[in-house]
Amino acid sequence: MREEARQTALRGTAAESGLLAVTLGLRLLGFGPVLILALLIVAASVGVPNFLKPINLGNILAQTAVIAIVAMGQQMVILTRGIDLSVGSNLALATVVGGLVYQAGGGGLAVIFAMLAAGMAVGAINGLVYVYGRLPHPFIITLAMLSICRGLALELAPGHTTMRGMPEAVKFLGGQTTLGVPNAFFVVVVVALLILMLTYAMVWGRWTYAVGGDPVAAREMGIPVRGVLISTYVFSGLCAGIGAVVLSGRTGASSPIYGNLLELDTIAAVIIGGASFLGGRGHLGHALIGAVMIGVIRNALNLLNVDIYFQMIAIGGVIVLAVEADVLRNRLEARARVLQAAKT
Amino acid sequence: MSVPALSVRNAEKRFGAIHALRDVSMDAWRGEVTALLGDNGAGKSTLVKCISGVHRLDEGEILLDGRPAHLNSPAAARGAGIETVYQDLALFDNLTPAQNFYCGREIGFPAWLPRPLRFLDKRAMNREAAAVIDRLQVRLPKFDAPVAMMSGGQRQAIAVARATVFARNVVMLDEPTAALGLRESRKVLDLIVKLKAEGNAVILITHNMEHVVELADRAVVLRQGTKVGELKPSAQNRQDLVAMIVGAEA
């Protein structure tokens, strides 16, 4: 009898130390992306000439802004186990719509409003068709919209090509600086604060996490799952529209070929940043870290004159690593559950 | 106590060619545990899901305190004071116990905003959740960590505790001890006794006859979608119950 008690106690301590190790491992995985980003920045500062020059850092911020904004919308969709492949084409279409409004004599506000509305309309179609068309996965409708929006943007653009000219307000937001900091950076901050409020302080955000964590349970708990899903695609569309404003402002133009492969960049940013593809795990910090990581990798390789094709290979490799880290994290959590049961 | 908290009258439910419930009627009373028994596919889970608003009855009606209730969504059932602990628990791994408690029913303000746009009153929800966990003497490793890393028994306890927060009429538990070891099962059974003592009508689905004899005031037996009997379980008629469930003539 005493021997048995001793055995139980022993097993308890073993479980306790095992649990500690697993928890430590999970912590490390959580900090992984931040550590890697820090290492990247240190390596680039040391190894890449001109990397730390203020003008280059400003460039990184300006170039990263569009990816960051659209990635934050993508993050909300991925949080609900979805994906939005249409964001790049959506952004192009939004710039073209904005350009047409400008050519028709629209002012700054009208152009901005048109871009945001176009983005949200595309997002609404994504969400409505996904939910009410009873599609098995949003992959299909957003892939279709990727094609439709690009085609529509090319059809709508006069001469199927770039239109010069943007109102001052748009140029101010996307192309100018305040106290040496690109205004696009402040747009990123505003979008981030908005998402922060929605996800941490408001009921809607809690519901997106619940739907992502377990859609069946969410329905059983009385959450309007369909409405939540549709709203995340509208939100992603809105972010594409904001991205359109920033990109048009930076280039002073609108173009049906903007945003090519932006869907891949934004999905990569979210995953590299450490969010989970399995739903319910992730926050805007992941999208932002991932976007900056991609920006830094691109910028450093550019300064080193590494050709663009190698950049694509490098970013692809990082994505595979990030997804493996996600898988490892889930296995560690399962292990923690077992140890927790053994301990008590 | 003259009117049952919940009555199901002449319930019919079909899924295509499958006749899942045929003319099933049953009552559940406050302060009692009603065991819902039957073999796999007997219709127990279907009946529970009809009461909890996940499925809709094709025919028949559900009365709460003698009045007809329209439970056409899970939200409506929860609003009517019916709580369900599903077999899969319906817990959100990525949320903390308190967040799980209030999921879908968050305390938010201001009231004039549409629900999704209200601000979460996290302090109130944490306080209430902590109070319930304390009252039911559920022991958790960490109160503010996601439930992903908690053991099967702890998760079951959270799901049961969540049901107690809002239950005003009926608590249904679908095989709450199926996945648990001996010690953890014991804790959940203790919780069920507390639910009953707090005046809820408890409906318990289980395959464990010892639990039925120990806890249940009445047992309703389903077989192939039909109610085949109802009796007060005791150590003496345990064999009769089993015979009813499997359909062997005694």
Tell me the pLDDT band of A122, cut-offs 50, 70 and 90. very high
Helices first, then strands: H and E counts in chain A:
13, 4
Taking a C-beta distance cutoff of 8 angstroms, is the pair A257, A89 a contact?
no
A194 in contact with B at a CB cutoff of 8 Å? Answer: no
Q: What is the CATH number of the domain that holds B71?
A: 3.40.50.300
Residue A3 lies in a domain: no
pLDDT score at A72:
96
| Residue A136 structure tokens | 């098995």
pLDDT score at B250:
47
Residue B181: closest CA among chain A residues belongs to which residue? A341
Residue A161 contacts by C-beta under 8 Å, 6 or more apart in sequence? A255, A256
Residue A279 lies in a domain: yes
- Segment 233-292 of chain A within 8 Å of chain B by CB: 280-281
Residue B81 lies in a domain: yes
Q: Compute the nearest-CA separation of A338 from chain B (Å).
A: 7
Q: For chain A, what is the radius of gyration of the CA atoms?
A: 23
Nearest to B153 among A213, A227, A341 (CB): A341
B44 in contact with A at a CB cutoff of 8 Å? Answer: no
Q: Compute the nearest-CA separation of A78 from chain B (Å).
A: 14
Partner residues linked to B36 by β-bridges: B205, B220
Q: Compute the nearest-CA separation of B173 from chain A (Å).
A: 14
Say yes or no to pLDDT of A36 above 80: yes
Residue B79: closest CA among chain A residues belongs to which residue? A222
Share of chain A above pLDDT 70, in %: 96
Q: ω before A158 within 30° of 0 (cis)? A: no
Query: Residue A263: which domain range?
Result: 49-330
Residue B28 lies in a domain: yes
A52 in contact with B at a CB cutoff of 8 Å? Answer: no
A21 in contact with B at a CB cutoff of 8 Å? Answer: no
Q: With an 8 Å Cβ cutoff, are B116 and A204 in contact? A: yes
CB-defined contacts A:B, below 8 A: 107
| Residue B206 structure tokens | 């289980």
Q: In 10 A of CB B182, how many CB atoms?
A: 7
Residue A19 lies in a domain: no
Q: With an 8 Å Cβ cutoff, are B90 and A281 in contact? A: no
pLDDT score at A335:
82
A152-173 per-position pLDDT tens digit: 999 999 988 899 989 999 999 9
B218 in contact with A at a CB cutoff of 8 Å? Answer: no
- Segment 321-340 of chain A within 8 Å of chain B by CB: 333, 336-338, 340
Number of domain units in chain B: 1
- DSSP, collapsed to helix, strand or coil, labels residue B27 as strand
pLDDT score at B12:
92
Q: What is the CATH number of the domain that holds A267?
A: 1.10.3470
| A124-130 mean pLDDT | 96
Nearest to A337 among B73, B79, B149 (CB): B149
What CA–CA distances, in Å, run from B22 to B58, B232, B248?
A: 10, 23, 20
Residue A150 lies in a domain: yes
Residue B131 lies in a domain: no
Residue B109 lies in a domain: no
Taking a C-beta distance cutoff of 8 angstroms, is the pair B177, B189 a contact?
yes
Q: Compute the nearest-CA separation of B53 from chain A (Å).
A: 8
A27 in contact with B at a CB cutoff of 8 Å? Answer: no
Taking a C-beta distance cutoff of 8 angstroms, is the pair B35, B220 a contact?
yes
Residue A245 identity (one-letter amino acid): V
Q: With an 8 Å Cβ cutoff, are B94 and A213 in contact? A: yes
CA angle, A109 then A111 then A117, to 5°: 100
Partner residues linked to A164 by β-bridges: A253
* Beta strands per DSSP E along chain A: 163-164, 177-178, 181-182, 253-254
| Residue B55 structure tokens | 């499925």
Residue A145 lies in a domain: yes
Distance of CA B142 to the CA centre of its chain: 25
Say what the ipTM of the complex is.
Answer: 0.80
Q: With an 8 Å Cβ cutoff, are A209 and B94 in contact? A: yes
Residue B138 lies in a domain: no
Query: How far is residue A106's CA from residue A191's CA, in Å, rounded to a whole number?
Result: 25
- DSSP, collapsed to helix, strand or coil, labels residue B234 as coil
| Residue A309 structure tokens | 């094709």
Residue A33 lies in a domain: no
Residue B200 lies in a domain: yes
Pairing type for strands B218-223 and B33-37 reads: parallel
Q: ω before A136 within 30° of 0 (cis)? A: no
Number of domain units in chain A: 1
Query: How far is residue B143's CA from residue A216's CA, in Å, rounded to a whole number?
Result: 24
Q: With an 8 Å Cβ cutoff, are B99 and A206 in contact? A: yes
Residue B110: closest CA among chain A residues belongs to which residue? A202
Residue B108 lies in a domain: no
Residue A185 lies in a domain: yes
Phi, psi of B207 (to 5 degrees): -105, -5
How close are the terminal C-alpha atoms of chain A, in Å?
A: 19
Query: In chain A, which residues have their Cβ closer than 8 Å to the Cβ of B95?
Result: 206, 209-210, 213
Residue B126 lies in a domain: no
Query: How far is residue A84's CA from residue A82's CA, in Å, rounded to a whole number?
Result: 7
Partner residues linked to A315 by β-bridges: none
- For the four alpha carbons of B26, B159, B93 and A201, in that order, the dihedral sign comes to positive
Nearest to B90 among A209, A217, A337 (CB): A217
Taking a C-beta distance cutoff of 8 angstroms, is the pair B172, B203 a contact?
yes
| A25-39 mean pLDDT | 83
Query: Residue B14: which domain range?
Result: 6-93+155-246
Dihedral angle computed from the Cα positions of residues A107, A156, A123 and A239, in that order, rounded to the nearest 10 degrees: -50
In the predicted model, what is the mean pLDDT of chain A? 89
Give pLDDT tens digits along chain B (250 positions).
578 999 999 999 999 888 899 999 999 999 999 999 988 888 898 999 999 998 999 999 999 998 998 888 888 888 888 999 988 888 998 899 989 989 888 898 898 999 899 999 999 999 988 888 887 777 777 778 888 878 777 888 888 888 877 777 899 999 888 777 787 788 888 888 988 888 889 999 988 888 898 899 999 999 998 998 888 888 888 888 888 888 875 4
Phi, psi of B233 (to 5 degrees): -70, 140
A227 in contact with B at a CB cutoff of 8 Å? Answer: yes
Residue A225: closest CA among chain B residues belongs to which residue? B104
Query: How far is residue A137's CA from residue A83's CA, in Å, rounded to a whole number?
Result: 9
Q: Compute the nearest-CA separation of A220 from chain B (Å).
A: 6
Say yes or no to pLDDT of A98 above 90: yes
Taking a C-beta distance cutoff of 8 angstroms, is the pair B11, B214 a contact?
no
